[in-house]
Structures are given as C-alpha cells and as structure tokens.
Amino acid sequence: MSALGHPAGEAFTAALEACIEHSVGLMVVDSLGPALQGDAEAARDVIGFFQKSIEPFRAEGIAILIIDHQSRLQQGQSYQSKGAFGSVFKTNLARSVIQAQATERGEGTLTVRLRQKKHNFGPLAEPFGVKLAFTEQVVALEAIELDASELAEEATLNATDRVKLALENGPAYPWEIAESTGLAVKTVKNVLTGLRKQGVVEPTGEVESRTEQVRLSVPASLSLYRDGDGDDSYIQSQREVFELAHEFLGNGKGGAG
C-alpha cells in the first residue's frame, strides 16, 4: 500500500482494516521518518506515534517491522555504536532492534551484516551476513556465516567471546587482540587473565615489550555453542526465521527496505 498523498493517520487506519480483512500477519512500515509526521527527537511525538499507529496492530496480533535510519557517521564514531536518529524511545518502545550494515557492493549485488542489538524475549541472535542479488525478475538472498575475525569485531558479543574469536586466527599479543576487536587493551588483559585461570589460553613463550604472546589451548567453535552449551532448538529457530523471510520475499510479498 502506498500512503502517497494521504495523512499518516488515514494510511494506518486503512492499512489496519486491510490487514484484518486479509488476515495479514506482518506489516512493513517504510519508513519511520515520514510515517511519524512529527519531531523524531521529541519523546512526546515518538511515544504518541507508537500508541496511536502501532499499538492497534499489536492488539490484533499483527507483527510490525519498522524501517528507520541512523544519523550520519561523525569522525571518531563507529557504525555499530550508532542508533536510530532521534528520541531514545524509538528503541525503548521496540521489542527487537536489528542493525543492518552494508559491507560490500557489486554489480547487481549487495552484502549486508545484520546484528540484533535488542531483544525483549530472549538472547540476542548471533550476527550474520546476507548477500542479496538483484535482477529485474527477482531478489535472491543467501545467508553468509561470519568468520572468526569478523565476529571478533561485533560489539553485540561479549568481550570474552570476542577475545577467543580473535585468537582463532593464531597467537597474538594483547594489543593485537585489541586492534582486531576494538576492545580496550586493559579489557583484553583482564579477559586473558580470566581465560588463563580457566585453562582456555596459554602463553607461547614469546615476549615483546614485557608482554607475553598467548594462544588458545582449547579450540573454540564458530557456532552459537562456542562454549559447548548451545541449544539446538534455538539454532533451528533461527534457521526457520530466515527460511520464512526468504519465502516471504521470494513470493513477491516483501516491502521495500
């Protein structure tokens, strides 16, 4: 449905009626800025939008996927640290927040990295990549597993996991781990102290600037159950979500975004 030429209130009322009539389970709002028709930085406008426009859909059991935008990167900022432009209530009132970051562009292709930054009803999903291929007839999606070095950069993972992932590429000094993960050197050293006590890392015998090089003594897995306590049902649920999304877009039902 296009809301072009119609006030947002009228468009949402018509969309709700259509969703109920056709038993629609998911509505995509593209995008929050124009739909808000208010001040994105004003808490009152943002809260009012969710109460008036979004809650009626939730009350009918209709899931809402809202596409929003971040402000431009400023010098010294990282993409991962950015959030939706405007009031914090944009994030506070959302049940799940997923950040999409373009990582590679080609002729007719786009690779993005998806990271879940908030989830009210369970653990955060592990970051993963998706390659999109565009033709005039279809948009194809392919899931891409991130390697250890890519996962080590992800701030949604805890510091311990990121340090272990960085060491999967081989022995390293604390400052090298800090460079590859983006963590502070002090944080890396504290994590390594704990991992040594657990017998997960060990010194290689190499020393530089009075600092020991370390390596993994227990190989870490790249899967969700790196620490051996994974839940197969959780992993399967993530696969099912992706398969449903692929089917949804493949049938031509997906909105722009």
End-to-end Cα distance, the chain: 14
pLDDT at 90: 95
**Would you say how long the chain is, in residues?**
257
Asked if residue 221 belongs to a domain, the reply is no
Do 15 and 88 lie in a common domain?
yes
Distance CA(88)–CA(47), nearest Å, equals 10
Instruction: Kindly report, residue by residue over 245-257, the tens digit of the pLDDT.
Output: 555 555 544 444 3
Distance CA(94)–CA(97), nearest Å, equals 7
pLDDT at 229: 46
Asked if residue 13 belongs to a domain, the reply is yes
Do 53 and 72 lie in a common domain?
yes
* Angle subtended at Cα 91 by Cα 70 and Cα 85, rounded to the nearest 5 degrees: 25
Of the candidates 105, 217, 222, the residue with the CA atom closest to the CA atom of residue 154 = 222
Contact (Cβ atoms closer than 8 angstroms) between residue 79 and residue 106: no
Residue 182's domain comprises 150-216
Instruction: Kindly report, residue by residue over 214-228, the tens digit of the pLDDT.
Output: 999 876 553 334 444
Which tokens in the block code for residue 32? 């929050």
Give me the chain's average pLDDT, please.
Answer: 87
Task: Determine which of 133-137, 189-193, 210-214, 234-238 has the lowest per-residue pLDDT on average.
Answer: 234-238
Do 2 and 61 lie in a common domain?
yes
Asked if residue 119 belongs to a domain, the reply is yes
Instruction: Kindly report, residue by residue over 2-14, the tens digit of the pLDDT.
Output: 888 899 999 999 9
Instruction: Kindly report, residue by residue over 36-95, the tens digit of the pLDDT.
Output: 999 999 999 999 999 999 999 999 999 999 999 998 888 888 899 899 999 999 999 999
Instruction: Kindly report, residue by residue over 32-49, the tens digit of the pLDDT.
Output: 999 999 999 999 999 999
Q: For the residues 114-143, what does the mean pLDDT come to?
A: 95
Q: Quickly list H helices, 128-208.
A: 148-152, 159-167, 174-181, 185-197
pLDDT at 209: 86
Do 46 and 164 lie in a common domain?
no
pLDDT at 239: 53
Q: In 10 A of CB 160, how many CB atoms?
A: 17
Of the candidates 117, 43, 53, 49, the residue with the CA atom closest to the CA atom of residue 81 = 117
Do 10 and 109 lie in a common domain?
no
Do 178 and 103 lie in a common domain?
no
Note the pTM of the prediction, 2 decimals.
0.75
pLDDT at 73: 86
Q: How many domains does the chain have?
A: 3
